[in-house]
Amino acid sequence: MSLDVLTYLFVGLSFTLYIGIAIWARAGSTKEFYVAGGGVHPAANGMATAADWMSAASFISLAGIVSFSGYDASGYLMGWTGGYVMLALLLAPYLRKFGKFTVPDFIGDRYYSNTARTLAVICVIFISFTYIAGQMRGTGIVFSRFLHVDIDTGVLIGMVIVFFYAVMGGMKGITYTQVAQYCILIFAYTVPAVFLVMQVTGHVLPQTGLGATVLESVNPVWAGKPVLFVLDEVVQDLGFHEYTTGTRTTIDTFFITAALMAGTAGLPHVIVRFFTVPNVRDARSSAGWALMFIAVLYLTVPAVGAIGQLNLINTLNGEQGDGVSYSDMPSWFKNWEQSGLVAWNDRNGDGKVQYAAGDAFMDGKPVLTDKYGEFGQRLTENPLIDTEASPGFDPGIQPYANEVFVDRDIMVLANPEVASLPDWVIALVAAGAVAAALSTAAGLLLVISTAISHDLLKKTLLPEINERQELVAARMASVAAICIAGYFGLNPPGYVAATVALAFGLAAASFFPVIFMGIFFKRMNKEGAIAGMLVGLLSTMAYIVYFKFMGGAKEDLFMGISPEGFGTLGMLMNFTVAFVVSRVTPRPPEEVQAMVDDIRIPRSAGRVHAQEPR
């Protein structure tokens, strides 16, 4: 079978499975729609949680960051994995014991305030729509290449598929669909990883790939050298920064890592998964299962990214490093050109593809770089600079002209083609990438619809509506959310992982402090929670909007902290404001303080004290 036929077959079968599960698990009550009836087995819930959490950012974009940024990607790896440990240990069991449907439900009752509940709904909407933009873009990228449609059409196809199993099945349908999606995405990620590592190093386990040496069959010049050593040497020769050292400041790396950690622990679509199990003991158990399932992919990512970069450089520049004739380029390069995610600009007219540091399409001017990158940086800032008259320019060093644009989000998808792996592996990756994007998109849409129908309508604006009306409202909210999510997918604020990182920053700045203090600090009251959430959310939103949408200059960054890391500062401001305000305002009612004590006492860890969500 051809690649196109295999891709349609694999993706089509996976879609049929998802829709079939949604029909089988169609929600018939609000409890099934919101928390899948509260009876999901811990192992199944752990698998669903892993699929829900490992979005297009993890499957598609994270290895791309590792490929192009090297050491700078460590903050993403540490933040996303470390944050889940923090969520599992500090928050999930206590929230499950509280027995609410949603995070705004917890905040509204814990802080005895509909104002706090409504503000939490607003936070959910901001976080979820920012997050979902990355998922829909990831879906569009997959379809643009493998179904031969443009990215916009791919986003629309993804919207239709999500509509079926999110609107019809609710949390019940999504849970069991995500179990299937995890199986597909993890198989689709690890199988090509094994092929890639074996092909370049001879090792079977991707987790050992970075410490192995390169085989002579890959490139005789690299033979016998460790993978990371080769990467350092090659990328510096092409004008990039050293692979094993970072370009970010220490404080920015720290703030990004902390924002991703706290954001993970405050993500509403992940937290709600712990309400789907019968009791607190099962919540802890499902957290352990989920961490194990997540680790399978995250321990594989570094090797996939690093070896993918080696293969890309080897393919584009050839064994001698002087470029490859465009007519001799493999089919994958020209296929990805059609999607607009790879582009070639023949600067010197020699007909060869040459890949190096710099922007291949900067105002139509060539961007040159010396082998150490310093001269290239000056030219990147001013492409009209006179190279012969430039201070410090060494004419003995041959400048390189970068002629290739490669979108970092294609690395995982293109890796099997770059490495000439079998067509069935390429088709499998396409099905896995779609599963990763759609699983998280569905979870986010459900969180949005639940926040609107349950927290905003039922608990605040229209408390007299019955269960049937609430369920209809939830489905209508899902439809509206899908339409808005599609718009953000068509107009994302950045590449997938960066867009998702912004959502984590918003979650860290708004939800994490009030949830944490709501569990462990009895003195925390509604005035403190509301003030803290407002300060954290508004400051972080303003920073993101200024630097991502209003053209804020890099020199204006506060202490050099990027928008992806500002959520940590927003979180610290939230903690500070909430604590100070709570100390100068009345204490919470006695029954609320008793509720906090009850949450922290583990006596209801078993089934005897399990109760319906209140």
The amino acid at residue 433 is A
Average pLDDT over residues 190-201: 90
526-540 core/surface letters (b: 16 or more CB in 10 A; e: else): bbbbbbbbbbbbebb
- DSSP character at residue 267: -
- Asked if residue 166 lies in contact with residue 445, where contact means CB atoms within 8 angstroms, the answer is yes
pLDDT tens per residue, range 211-230: 888 888 887 888 888 888 88
Write the burial class of residue 607 (CB in 10 Å: 0-12 exposed, 13-18 middle, 19+ buried). exposed
**How many Å apart are CA 195 and CA 304, to the nearest integer?**
10
Average pLDDT over residues 536-552: 85
SS3 track for 117-171: HHHHHHHHHHHHHHHHHHHHHHHHHHHHHHCCCCHHHHHHHHHHHHHHHHHCCHH
pLDDT over 70 (residue 29): no
Pick the closest to residue 215 from 199, 235, 231, 232 (CA basis): 199
Average pLDDT over residues 22-51: 70
- DSSP bridge partners of 353: 324
Greatest mean pLDDT among 306-320, 421-435, 474-488, 582-596 lies in 582-596
Write the burial class of residue 193 (CB in 10 Å: 0-12 exposed, 13-18 middle, 19+ buried). buried
**How many Å apart are CA 271 and CA 257, to the nearest integer?**
20
39-48, 190-199, 489-498, 558-567: lowest mean pLDDT where? Answer: 489-498
Pairing state of beta strands 400-401 and 368-369? antiparallel
- Asked if residue 455 lies in contact with residue 105, where contact means CB atoms within 8 angstroms, the answer is yes
pLDDT over 70 (residue 381): no
- pLDDT given for residue 535 in this prediction: 95
pLDDT over 80 (residue 232): yes
Token pair, residue 420, equals 């000439």
- pLDDT given for residue 532 in this prediction: 95
Structure-token match 């949603």, residue found: 102
Helices (H) and strands (E) in the chain, counts: 25, 6
**How many Å apart are CA 158 and CA 163, to the nearest integer?**
9
pLDDT, the chain, mean: 78
106-115, 258-267, 339-348: lowest mean pLDDT where? Answer: 339-348
- pLDDT given for residue 399 in this prediction: 47
- pLDDT given for residue 27 in this prediction: 56
Beta-carbon count within 10 A of 472 CB: 13
- Asked if residue 91 lies in contact with residue 280, where contact means CB atoms within 8 angstroms, the answer is no
pLDDT over 80 (residue 388): no
The amino acid at residue 530 is I
The model's confidence at residue 421, banded by pLDDT at 50, 70 and 90, is confident
CB neighbour list of residue 250: distance below 8 Å, 6 or more residues apart:
none
1-5, 137-141, 323-327: lowest mean pLDDT where? Answer: 137-141
pLDDT over 90 (residue 575): yes
- pLDDT given for residue 386 in this prediction: 37
pLDDT tens per residue, range 68-106: 888 888 888 888 888 878 877 778 778 777 776 678 888
pLDDT > 70: percent of the chain: 84
The model's confidence at residue 139, banded by pLDDT at 50, 70 and 90, is confident
- Asked if residue 159 lies in contact with residue 136, where contact means CB atoms within 8 angstroms, the answer is yes
Top-level class of domain 3-27+57-213+250-308+415-446+494-609: mainly alpha
Average pLDDT over residues 420-433: 85
3-state secondary structure (DSSP) of residue 63: helix
**Residue 187 belongs to what H/E stretch?**
helix 170-201
pLDDT tens per residue, range 298-356: 889 888 888 988 888 888 887 666 778 888 888 888 888 877 778 888 777 778 888 88
Identify the residue with better confidence: 553 or 199.
199
73-87, 195-209, 395-409, 421-435: lowest mean pLDDT where? Answer: 395-409
Greatest mean pLDDT among 360-369, 492-501, 533-542 lies in 533-542
- pLDDT given for residue 578 in this prediction: 95
pLDDT over 90 (residue 491): no
- DSSP character at residue 276: S
Dihedral (Cα; 340, 346, 352, 355), 10-degree rounding:
-60
**How many Å apart are CA 143 and CA 76, to the nearest integer?**
26
CB neighbour list of residue 60: distance below 8 Å, 6 or more residues apart:
138, 141, 142, 409, 412, 413, 433, 436, 437, 496
The amino acid at residue 601 is I
Query: Over the Cα atoms of the chain, what is R_g?
Result: 25
- pLDDT given for residue 217 in this prediction: 85
pLDDT over 70 (residue 365): no
- Asked if residue 126 lies in contact with residue 536, where contact means CB atoms within 8 angstroms, the answer is no
* Domain ranges across the chain: 3-27+57-213+250-308+415-446+494-609
Greatest mean pLDDT among 240-254, 450-464, 468-482 lies in 240-254
